[in-house]
Amino acid sequence: MTRPIQASLDLQALKQNLSIVRQAAPRARVWSVVKANAYGHGIERIWSAIGATDGFALLNLEEAITLRERGWKGPILMLEGFFHAQDLEIYDQHRLTTCVHSNWQLKALQNARLKAPLDIYLKVNSGMNRLGFQPDRVLTVWQQLRAMANVGEMTLMSHFAEAEHPDGISGAMARIEQAAEGLECRRSLSNSAATLWHPEAHFDWVRPGIILYGASPSGQWRDIANTGLRPVMTLSSE
């Protein structure tokens, strides 16, 4: 027989970690990131424990639908947007906020038949080089989206590549400022590391992920040892 192993979840720790995020970014609203089945903690098990969040952010459409079916009526942000034009009907049905980061998504939004406009997060590539428009294209794309009947509220978003370092966001912030020149817009820039260590990047919405579960964005526990963050999951064996 195999050795008994058990994973235990401390939902009070999860609630406390959300409170610490709010203390770190008191003027921002919070997208609680629950991607990858809440970082392996089980989205259905944990979501109600942090139901005081302002919104949930994730990647998987099925998980977004699960949140709606379980009773969450607040905002849901799809961090990578939609992958198929027909998904927009489901986004419309469940009132999901979508990231937009590519030309084909612009065309799909333009041509979609929606019952009501969708809120949009326009993603700028500030150095992560994974998703997003280059800074010099953002103004043009913003204006394109703004002219679409299918588009509701708009927010500029980005993802820092090196926010765990003391000077890790300076270059990215410069590129974001270039992208936002001439725009009056809400911004969502801060991941876990920036939420903890770069208050100048908090703006309107922060997007904490791994710190909600009590882990360090740098991978070093000593970096969060004095924050009050607590691990949500513990493993035990006999």
Q: Domain coordinates of the chain in residue numbers?
A: 5-237
Q: What sign for the dihedral angle of Cα 43, 70, 108, 208? A: negative
Write down the CATH number for the domain with range 5-237: 3.20.20.10
Q: For position 119, what pLDDT does the model report?
A: 99
DSSP H or E run through 151: strand 151-157
Question: Average pLDDT of each block of 10 consecutive residues along the chain (238 residues)?
Answer: 87 98 98 98 97 98 98 98 97 99 98 98 94 96 98 98 95 96 95 98 98 96 94 91
Q: What is the pTM of this model?
A: 0.95
CA–CA gap between residue 224 and residue 220 (Å, rounded): 8
**Which of 113, 116, 108, 118 shows the shortest CA–CA distance to 84?**
108
Angle between helices 61-69 and 87-94 (to 10 degrees): 30
Residue 165 tokens read as 């370092």
Residue 43, phi-psi category: left (phi > 0), alpha (psi -120 to 50), beta (remainder): alpha
Q: Which residues contact 237 (CB under 8 A, 6 or more apart)?
A: 3, 4, 5, 6
